[in-house]
């Protein structure tokens, strides 16, 4: 619940960032953070756990998740990173970042749509991306439960690295 409440607070902030911040700069900043986080954790796997963080920290991450989702469309990235830092097992991570990511996506679409910030070209790109989304969802469902915690962690970090690198390449 703190991730969802935080998302409700963060999405309008993130959407409003788009009114004055350069989208290219936002992509570069988020991309750099993702690349650095992923590389750090891939090469230094014994990072101290944040397992004892509480509900306030979870809510703060929810706000960051909403800001990133509302401004870049990458809803769920902050929750994925936070769940990894918390050291939660894959099932618990999935139970947190999937619903909070979907909620932030929906809130972002409603906020941006209501503000007239989504054009026809964006809707076409969304429709073009739906098959890839469906394929990725299917692949994830097929793999879930078949990987040990370490393999799951590495796959998540590699996917975050790819996401960050793509933002850096396409950032400007």
Predicted local distance difference test score (pLDDT) of residue 162: 93
Among 37, 29, 81, 35, CA closest to 58:
81
The CA distance from 53 to 170, in Å, is 34
pLDDT bucket at 46, cuts 50 / 70 / 90: low
What mean pLDDT value characterizes the chain? Answer: 86
pLDDT digits (tens, 9 = 90+) for 89-147: 888 888 888 889 889 989 998 998 888 888 888 889 889 999 998 998 898 888 877 88
**3-state DSSP percent of the chain in helix, strand and coil, to 5:** 80, 0, 20
The reported pTM is 0.78
6 has pLDDT over 90 = yes
Per-residue DSSP letter, 107: H
């Amino acid at each position: 619940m703190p991730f969802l409440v935080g998302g409700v607070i963060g999405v309008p902030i993130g959407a409003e960032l788009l009114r004055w911040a350069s989208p290219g700069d936002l992509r570069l900043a988020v991309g750099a953070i993702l690349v650095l986080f992923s590389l750090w954790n891939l090469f230094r796997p014994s990072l101290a756990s944040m397992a004892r963080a509480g509900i306030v920290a979870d809510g703060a991450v929810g706000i960051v998740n909403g800001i990133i989702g509302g401004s870049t469309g990458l809803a769920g990235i902050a929750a994925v990173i936070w769940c990894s830092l918390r050291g939660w097992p894959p099932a618990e991570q999935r139970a947190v970042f999937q619903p909070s990511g979907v909620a932030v996506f929906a809130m972002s679409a409603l906020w941006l749509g209501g503000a007239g910030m989504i054009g026809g070209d964006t809707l076409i790109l969304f429709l073009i991306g739906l098959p890839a989304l469906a394929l990725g969802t299917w692949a994830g469902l097929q793999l879930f439960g078949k990987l040990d915690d370490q393999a799951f962690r590495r796959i998540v970090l590699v996917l975050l690295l790819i996401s960050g690198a793509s933002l850096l390449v396409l950032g400007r």
